[in-house]
Structure 1
Amino acid sequence: MKNKKYILSFLYYMLAAFGISLTIKAAVGVSSFNSMNVAIAEVTKIEVGTITTFVNLLFLIACFFIEKNKKFLEYLFMIISLVCFGSVINLFLYHLLFNVQIESYYLSIIVFIVGTIIAGYGTGRSLYYGILKFPIEKYCILLAEKYNKSFSFYRYGVDIFSILISLFVSIIFIIPMYVREGTLLSFVLLTFVINKSKN
């Protein structure tokens, strides 16, 4: 039974990665965290999924040093899952969806909304099993427990930091802005879908 939970949790994790790929492909802006990753990827010419994995691993390393009662197998499983997570994003963005062109702005919005719902559902279902945690959420929970501030305080802090980095990179290196209408849509829709699907 526990093995089934691990498999399902992993599959939903990968479903979330597919949803993120769709939101990036829609090209109407992305969530706050992904806007930073996409901007960095654009400048460095490193694939977005690889950047996403790297940044998530940084948060996971931070968690490892903060958390008192570490479960090493849990961290190992999360590392493997994060590598696969980034690989799925790369697979869809740079291979399976590479030649797909979205000509209509309204179609782009629809693709973005569908991608956000898929990403939110995958995230929520993965959280439901409580096995695979997302490094940013885990990091914010640990900080909230340690410094007596709310989880929301730190989570919104990460969002604001990500948006500022994304804007800074876009302005300095004169690349497209990835903080756009999609960022606002994601802010409203993603949390709603996650909350609905994790129960």
Structure 2
Amino acid sequence: MQYKKYFLSFFYYMVAAFGISLTIKAEIGVSSLNSLNVAISQVSRIEVGTITTLVNIVFLIACIFVEKNKKIFEYLFMILSLICFGSIINIFLYHFLIGIQINNYYLAILVFTLGTIIAGYGTGRSLHYGILKFPVEKLCLILSDKTKKSFALYRYGVDIICIFFSLFISLTFNYPLFVREGTILSFLLLTYVINKSKK
């Protein structure tokens, strides 16, 4: 039964990755963390899924330093999952979806909304099994427990920092803005879908 939970948790993790690839493809802005990932990808010319994995691993390393009772197997499984997570984003963005152009704004909104719902559902179902956590949320939970300050304070803090650096990269290097209407839509919709689907 435990193996089934690991498999399903991993599967829904990959579903979330597919949803994220759709939100990026819509090109109307992305969630706060992904806006930083896409901006770094543009500057570095490294595929966005790879950047997503690397950024998440940075947060995971931070978790290792601040968490007292570390479960080594859990961390190893998360690293493997994050590598696969980024690979799924790359496979869809740079292979399966590469030839698709979304020229209609309302269609872009539809694709982004669908991607956000899929990403939120995948994330929620993965969290439901209590095995795989996203490093950002895990770090915020650890810090919240240590400092007795709210999880929301840390999570929104991460969002603000990511948005700031994404805007800084876009304006400095004259790239398109990745913090747009999609960022607001993601902010309103993503958490709602995650909460509904993790029950």
Taking structure 1 as the reference length, what is the TM-score of the superposition?
A: 0.99
Amino acid at match of 1:101: Q
- What's the RMSD between the two structures over aligned residues? 0.4
Kindly state the Cα deviation for residue 147 of structure 1 after the two structures are TM-superposed: 1.2
Matched residue, 1:74? 74
- Superposed, 1:6-25 pairs within 5 Å as 6-25=6-25
Q: Distance in 2 between matches of 1:32 and 1:88?
A: 20
Secondary structure of 2:9's match? helix
Which consecutive segments of 4 or more residues in structure 1 shift more than 4 A? none
Q: Distance in 2 between matches of 1:133 and 1:102?
A: 32
Matched residue, 1:131? 131
Q: Distance in 2 between matches of 1:177 and 1:131?
A: 35
Which ranges of structure 2 fall in alignment gaps of 5 or more residues?
Answer: none
Matched residue, 2:65? 65
- Superposed, 1:1-199 pairs within 5 Å as 1-199=1-199
Q: Distance in 1 between matches of 2:103 and 2:153?
A: 39
Q: Distance in 2 between matches of 1:175 and 1:128?
A: 38
Amino acid at match of 2:82: L
Amino acid at match of 2:107: L
Q: Distance in 2 between matches of 1:162 and 1:181?
A: 16
Amino acid at match of 2:5: K
Q: Distance in 1 between matches of 2:55 and 2:147?
A: 23
Secondary structure of 2:102's match? coil
Secondary structure of 2:53's match? helix
Kindly state the Cα deviation for residue 103 of structure 1 after the two structures are TM-superposed: 1.6
Aligned length, in residue pairs: 199
Q: Percent identity among equivalent residues? A: 70
Amino acid at match of 1:140: C
Taking structure 2 as the reference length, what is the TM-score of the superposition?
A: 0.99
Kindly state the Cα deviation for residue 113 of structure 1 after the two structures are TM-superposed: 0.1
**Cα deviation per residue 1:112-156 (whole Å; 9 max; x = unaligned)?**
000000000000000000000110000000001111210000000
Q: Distance in 2 between matches of 1:147 and 1:13?
A: 29
Amino acid at match of 1:139: L
Q: Distance in 1 between matches of 2:120 and 2:137?
A: 14
Kindly state the Cα deviation for residue 90 of structure 1 after the two structures are TM-superposed: 0.3
Secondary structure of 2:79's match? helix
Q: Distance in 1 between matches of 2:167 and 2:61?
A: 26
